Structure 1
Amino acid sequence: MVLPNLCQAAFTVLRQIEPILVLEQLGSTLFDTALQMVVKDQCANATYPETHLSREDSQQKAMSDFYMTYNLIIQLTPILPALLLARLGDRGWRRAPIVVPLSGYLLSRIALLLVVIFRLPLEVMFGAAVLFGLSGGFCAYWPGVMTLASIGSTETDRSKVMMRVELLYGAAGLVGSLASGHLFLLYGSSLGHGTILLTVSALLHLLSLIHSIVLLQVKQVSKKEPEENSQLPSHASSNVAVEAPAGINMVNVALLFAAAVLYGSAVGGAVEILAVFVMKQPLSWNATQVGYGNAAGSMIFLTSFLGVIVFRRCVSDVMLILIGMLSFASGIYFMSFVTATYMFYLARSLNLFALIPMPTIRSLLSQQVPASSCGITLTSLQLALKFAGLAYIPAFTKIYQRTLDWFPGFVFTLSSIFTVLGMIPISIVGCRSPQRRQYERIQGD
C-alpha cells in the first residue's frame, strides 16, 4: 500500500513545473561555463594591429566585443516572440511559453557543440542567439514558469510557491556550476575539451523539452477566496499598499520603473563584463575556476531567498529593496579592486542579497495598479529593461575596453554608482508610502 502511494506522489511531482526548471537550469549552467571557455580559446589569437594592443588586451577586446553582440541579440530578438507566446498562454495554451523556448535552448546548445566539434567560427553563435531569441528565450520561458506556478497555487500559498521556484532555480544553478568546470576538462577521443560538457547540457535540455511536452500538467486553482480573508491586512507593515488600488498611482509607478531600469542596467552591465574580467591577468581563470565562480553567482539565489524570509518579518518591502541594492553596490565596488581569486569571492560574499530588489520591485509595482492592469504593467517593465540593454551593453563594453590599460575595474565602480542612483527613487517611494497608509486609515475610520 505504501509503494503505490509513493509512486503516485512521485508521478504527481513529475507532472509539475519544478522538474523541468531543474533540468533546464542544470543544462544552462553547464552551457554558460562552456561558452566562456570556448570564447576564451577562440579569441586567444585575436589581433588589432592598428590599436597597438598587447596580446592579452586584444583577447579581452575580442571577447568583450563578442559578448556585446551576442547579448544584444539575446536582448532584442525575444521581444515580439515573447509577447506572442504570452498571448497564446493567456488564451489557454499555457505550455506554449515553456515548450517553444525550451526548443530554442536545445538548438543553441547543439550549435555550440557543433562549433567545438567541427572547429567552426565563433560567429555561428550569433545565428544560434537569433534562433534562441526567436523561440522567446528566457524572456518567454521565465514568465511562463511563473505563470504556471501562480495559477497552480492558491493566493495564500502563492508567495511560498514563487520562493520555492526561485530556490530550486538557484540550487540547480549551484550544482551545475560546481560540476561544469570538471566536466569541461573531460573529452572524448580527438574531439577536445567541452564536448562531454556540451553533450550533457544538450541531453538535459532534450529531457526538459520532452518532459514539458509529455508529462507537464497545467493545473489551475480557483482564485476565489473568502472575501473576509482577501481584506485581511496581512503583512500590512511590510507593504506599501495592502489592497490593489482602484486607479494607477502614476508617481510610484514611474519611480519604481526608474529604480528597476537603473538597477537592472547596473547588474546587467557588470555581470556581462565579469565573464571577461576573470579571464585576464592576474586572475586568468581556468574552466574549473569559472565553474566555481558561476556557482558563487548561483549561491546568491539561495542567500537572497533566505534574506527575504528573515528580513520580511521586520522591515518593509522598500527596506528590502534598499538592503539588496546596498549589498550589490558594496560587493561590485569591491570587485573594482580585485587582483586575486580569494578577493573575488570576498566581493561576491558582499552580494548575498543582490537578487532581492527586482522581484520585490515587481511586487510593489503590482500593488500600484488595478488587477486588470497588472499584467501589462509588468510586461512593460520587462520591455523597458530590454530596451535599456540597448544602451548599457555597448556602453559598458566600450568603457571597459577604453580603461583596460589603467583601471580595468572602472566599470564595476560605475555599476556601483548606478545602483546608488537607483536607491533614490526607491527611497522616495518609501517616504510616500506611510502618508498614504495614514490617509487610508482616516478614510476608513
Structure 2
Amino acid sequence: MYAARRILKKMRYGEATVTVVDPRSYMTYQPFLPEAAAGSISPRHVVVPLRRVLPKAEVLTGRVTTIDQDRKVATIAPLVGEAYELPFDYLVIAMGAVSRTFPIPGLAENGIGMKGIEEAIGLRNHVLEQLDKADSTTDEEVRRKALTFVFVGGGFAGAETVGEVEDMARDAAKYYKNVKREDMRFILVDVADKILPEVGPKLGAYGKEHLESRGVEIYLGTSTKSCVDGHVVLSNDLEVDSNTIVWTAGVKPNPALSRFGLPLGPRGHVDTQATLQVQGTDYIWAAGDNAQVPDLVGRKAGNENAWCPPNAQHALRQAKVLGDNVISGMRGFPQKEYSHANKGAVAGLGLHKGVAMIVVGKTKIKLKGRLAWYMHRAYHGMAMPTFNRKIRVFADWTLGMFLKREITSLGAMENPREEFYEAAKPAPAPAAAADDKAKADDKAKAKAS
C-alpha cells in the first residue's frame, strides 16, 4: 500500500496505471492486533481500506496465481468468476508473510493464528465465550478446559497477545459470579531460552518476570508435540486440556511465491539486491516480509550475512525507497540502495505495562513499565497509516481511560445466518400427523397390490 502511494505521488499525470491486487480490500496494521483482540482498539480502526487510500489506483480483490515473466502477464483469480490475464510493465512483490507452522497433530484443527484482523476478532470472541461456558456449566472438566489458555511462541506477537488477553480476561472475570482470575490458567511456550528477543536479554527477562507475576506460566526450551482435540502435549512432559491454543511461533514468506518463478533465498524469501530489485531482473521489485533484503548497516559493521528483519520498521521504509526506484526505473534513472539503522523496538504487555529499547546513535535506552507502554502507544499510534485511522485509534485509547472495557462476546457473527436458518427451515410434522400419513401410505400400497 505504501509503495503504491509513493508511486502515485511521484508519477506524472497519465504516465502509468497502478494496479493493486490483494485478496482483501484493506491493509492490516499488524502491531495493533493484540490490542484489537483485547478490545482496547476497535477492529475496524486497525485496517485501512485500499480504495480510500489509493483513489487513483486500480484495486482488484483477488489473487495472483501465476506470473509469466517472458510475456509480462499475471493471471488474476478474482473472488468470483473466471481467472483472467493482466499485462504489466513493472511488478512489485509485497505479499507479506503467513504463520510459520509445523506438522503437529491437531494444530490445523485447533490452533488460532494472529496474522489478520479476522483472527484477532475471533480470538476475542472465543476467549469471552470460554468464560461464558465456564460460568454456566457444572461439569468441572469442561470448566477447566474452557479456562486454560495456551500460547505458543514468545516473540512480540506471543508475549503481547498473552499480556493483552490476560488483561481482558482479568477485567471480564469481575462480571462473572462463578469465574475468578485464580480459576484461569495461562501458559506461554517457546522453544527458545528467552522471550522477547527483539528487545534484548535484560528487557526480555523483565518481560518474563512481569508476566509470571501476573500468573502466566512460561515454559522455555519447550516445544509442542501434539494438540489433538485440545489435549496439548509439550516436550517437557506437561499435558493440559485447552479449548484455546494461540499459535504465534514466527512467520514465513507467503508460499505462493514458489509459483512465480522468482529467485528465492534459503528460507523462501524473494532474493533482492540492496536496491530492492529482484536478482537478475530490472523490472521486478520486492520488499517487506516476503523479501530477502541485504542489511547494509549490519554489513558495514562487519556482519557479511546481515539481512533486514521482517518487521514494520523496515517494511514501511523499504516501501518508500521501492516506490522511488520504480519511478526511477520508468524514467531511466539510477536506483537507490535501501539502508536503515535499527531505531529500537517497543512492546506492550497489557494496559500500562510494556518494554522498550530506543537506539539513539550508538546508545541504547532501555525502558520498562508504564513509560515503555507510553512509548509503545506513541510510536505505533504515529506509525498507523492515514490521519483518519490515527484519530480513531487515539480516540479509542482516550475513551478507554474513562469507560470500562467492553466484555461482550459476538461469537455468533461467525455464523450469522444460523438463527435465521433455524427460524426459516420447515417445521417437522407432529408425531400424530406422521402416524396418520404412514397409515394412509400403507393402505394405498395394500390397494395397489
Bin the TM-score by the shorter chain. under 0.3
Between structures 1 and 2, the one with greater strand share: 2
Q: Per chain length, whose mean CA-contact separation is higher, i.e. which structure has more relative contact order (CA < 8 Å, sep 6+)?
A: 1
- TM-score (norm. length: structure 2): 0.22
Larger Rg: 2
Between structures 1 and 2, the one with greater helix share: 1
